[in-house]
């Protein structure tokens, strides 16, 4: 019963004042600093005290950073931005291509989506993505019907309002989806 009380006291002291050393916590609780370290480690808490002599400030806004290290896979790296500035730097507001709603996305995820989209848009939800897919499926059916009538894919896409430069990507996508193409794009048209 005394260990549970000691354990709770150690956890409270660490949460209340992260600047206390293990020795100071041990002296307050009547246990050794090694026992304090073991308790903190078993609870997944920080065993090192926060050094008050060294002050860390955000390089962007100048506010003091209370937790100066980020922990990535166990490695501690110094934090240069406060949490608010870090969020602002690593997130971007974009507009959904289907519904026009503003949404926030991480810059790394945005780059990944843009690289995968190949001329498509950015979508805020799975529902908007499904609507876009249905729209493109409809376009593919129209182009395939025109192509069966003898109209080239390039001419058909221009007729349906698709700008020049996307014809190759759309043709490749149609071939992957299994559409039969009689008259593919044969380079630039003769003037």
Flag whether 187 is in a domain. no
Give tens-digit pLDDT for 87-113.
Answer: 888 888 888 877 888 888 888 888 777
Q: Which residues of the chain have pLDDT under 70?
A: 1-4, 50-54, 72, 74, 115-120, 182-191
* Phi, psi (degrees; rounded to nearest 5) at 95: -110, 135
User: What pTM did the predictor assign?
Assistant: 0.41
Flag whether 21 is in a domain. yes
Number of domains in the chain: 3
Rg (CA), the chain: 30
Flag whether 114 is in a domain. no
Which helix (H) or strand (E) covers residue 78, if one does?
A: strand 75-78
Same domain, yes or no: 168 and 141? yes
Same domain, yes or no: 62 and 31? no
Which residues constitute the domain of residue 143? 126-177
Q: Residue 119 has what pLDDT?
A: 52
């Amino acid at each position: 019963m005394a260990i549970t009380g000691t354990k709770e006291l150690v956890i409270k002291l660490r949460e209340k004042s992260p600047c206390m050393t293990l020795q100071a916590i041990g002296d307050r609780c009547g246990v050794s600093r090694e026992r304090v370290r073991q308790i903190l480690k078993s609870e997944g808490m920080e065993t090192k005290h926060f050094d008050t002599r060294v002050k860390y400030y955000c390089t962007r806004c100048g506010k003091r950073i209370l937790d100066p290290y980020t922990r990535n896979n166990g490695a501690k790296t110094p934090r240069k931005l406060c949490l608010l500035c870090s969020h602002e730097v690593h997130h971007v507001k974009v507009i959904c291509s289907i519904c026009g709603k503003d949404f926030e996305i991480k810059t790394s995820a945005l780059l990944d989506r843009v690289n995968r989209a190949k001329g498509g848009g950015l979508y805020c939800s799975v529902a908007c993505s499904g609507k876009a897919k249905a729209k493109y499926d409809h376009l593919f059916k129209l182009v395939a019907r025109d192509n069966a009538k003898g109209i080239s894919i390039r001419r058909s896409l221009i007729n349906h309002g698709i700008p020049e430069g996307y014809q190759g990507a759309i043709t490749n996508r149609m071939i992957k989806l299994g559409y039969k193409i009689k008259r593919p794009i044969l380079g630039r048209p003769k003037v």
